[in-house]
Structure 1
Amino acid sequence: MNHLKNGDRATTLDWSKTSLVVIDLQKWIGSSYAPYSAEMVIANAAKLAHHFRNKGAFVTFVRVSSKDFKDMPSPLLDSTPPKLNLIEGWDELVPELGVTETDHIITKKQWGAFHGTDLDLQLRRRNIDTIVLCGIASGIGVDTTAREAFQHGYQLVFAMDAMTGFTEAEHEHVRNVIFPRIGRIRTTEEILEEK
């Protein structure tokens, strides 16, 4: 067991009960993010994944995929959604993550990683009670998954420099308004310093 500082209080991070959950770091990633670049987020997520594996902790990668997009939400919108970068292999995880046989991969059809997947089941079967969350985008896939995890009763730690938004305002909103209400905010280095 290790301790993450939380003001004057220490909270315990137990590697046997903690999972890293990485959101949507796949080949469809574009180039316009803030405040961190996709490259920085991927590099920090890869460091975290390596660290978690070394600790024997559960590493989960979440990706979005569809064969024909008929299995995904298609809401009526007031504005046109951004064009996706659907290159060949768009739904594959980026190779920099170094996915191993011990990692668990979740395929989702919407923003959040819990609805319609076996994420909650797999975490509970392993007695996981804490999730370290990162990925793209802060205010969409990460935020939705965080809210779902909170509603399922998980403790949350946000690796804030291992995630980024489509805009800095999006990232700062969840960092300053949402995430402090449902979990603890840390840097990649602070998490890596955990023994």
Structure 2
Amino acid sequence: MAEADLAGLPHLDAATLAPLIDPARTALIVVDIQNDFAGPSGLLKRVGVDMTLAEAAIDRIEAIIPAARAAGATVAFMRVVTEPETDSDALKALYARKGRPGGQAICRTADGGADYYRVAPEAGDIEIAKLLYDSFHGTDLEDQLRARGIDTLVMTGVATDCCVDATTRAGFHRGFHVFVVSDACASYEEELHTGTLKVLHKNCALLTTADAVVSAWANNAQGAPL
């Protein structure tokens, strides 16, 4: 399976990462793993978007979620959930000015586009329904995280250059320590993925890998040194 080339990007290894993502204070954030953004019958796939990079990222997310649960970390699922009446006027105008009227009609509840793809929340997880990119905007995500004593976010999902980026920046601006799992995020174009990772690392987050997160949390779950 093709994957983005992450060579040259700085990544924290498991030993360095483990003390920084204490499960009691950390949430795994799973962004927009939904039919329309990632599924084989979703809107993006139907208009010809290649899902190869997204599928590779979801493979790793599926490994990280049970590691988070076993370690006792919070798992939080973000989703775009829309109806025609909730569409942003600014977004509609933006699409129209780009010559794509109606292009904002994504992640509808009526046709299943908003449904989860390959992942699903369990009792005790956080679930957030949002209208646009930033998972904090117009939601109670921050309140739910603070109520659990969370001060650290481990970011995964799609798309790196859109909703992952917006949520990472918003979390940082709210005082959270943010780690982006570079190979458990994806854009639909490799250069957008790697470019966004470089910018996030420069400004507001540290990068790591799925293997490092799983190893760090396995160590936390066992209570043994790496």
Sort the TM-score into its range (normalised by shorter chain): 0.7 to 0.9
Q: Kindly, what percent of the aligned residue pairs are identical? A: 27
Whole-angstrom CA distance in 2 between matches of 1:4 and 1:74 = 47
Q: Give the one of 20, 24, 28 matched to 1:16.
A: 24
Whole-angstrom CA distance in 1 between matches of 2:169 and 2:160 = 12
Q: Is 1:161–2:210 an aligned residue pair?
A: no
Where do 5+ consecutive residues of structure 1 fail to align? none
Helix, strand or coil at the partner of 1:160: strand
* TM superposition outliers: structure 1 runs of 4+ over 6 Å: none
Helix, strand or coil at the partner of 1:193: helix
Compare 160-169 and 53-62 and name the one that shifted more.
Answer: 160-169
Greater C-alpha Rg: 2
Q: Is 1:104–2:112 an aligned residue pair?
A: no
Report the TM-score, using the length of structure 2 for normalisation: 0.75
Count of equivalent residues = 187
Aligned to 2:114: 91
Aligned to 1:74: 89
Q: Which protein is richer in helix relative to its size? A: 2
The root-mean-square deviation of aligned C-alpha atoms, in Å, is: 2.2
Where do 5+ consecutive residues of structure 2 fail to align? 1-13, 38-43, 220-226
Aligned to 2:223: none
Indicate how the Cα distance of structure 1 residues 19 and 33 shifts in structure 2: closer, same or farther if over 3 A, else same: farther
Report the TM-score, using the length of structure 1 for normalisation: 0.86
Q: Give the one of 134, 138, 152 matched to 1:130.
A: 152
Q: Deviation of residue 180 (structure 1)?
A: 3.4
Compare 155-164 and 83-92 and name the one that shifted more.
Answer: 83-92
Q: Deviation of residue 137 (structure 1)?
A: 0.4
Whole-angstrom CA distance in 2 between matches of 1:21 and 1:33 = 24
Counterpart residue type for residue 19 of structure 1: A
Counterpart residue type for residue 74 of structure 1: D
1:58-108 Cα shifts (integer Å, max 9, x gaps): 10000001122x3232323342455758682110111x2142112211000
Q: Deviation of residue 124 (structure 1)?
A: 0.3
Q: Give the one of 153, 165, 170 matched to 1:143.
A: 165
Q: Is 1:28–2:39 an aligned residue pair?
A: no
Q: Deviation of residue 163 (structure 1)?
A: 0.8
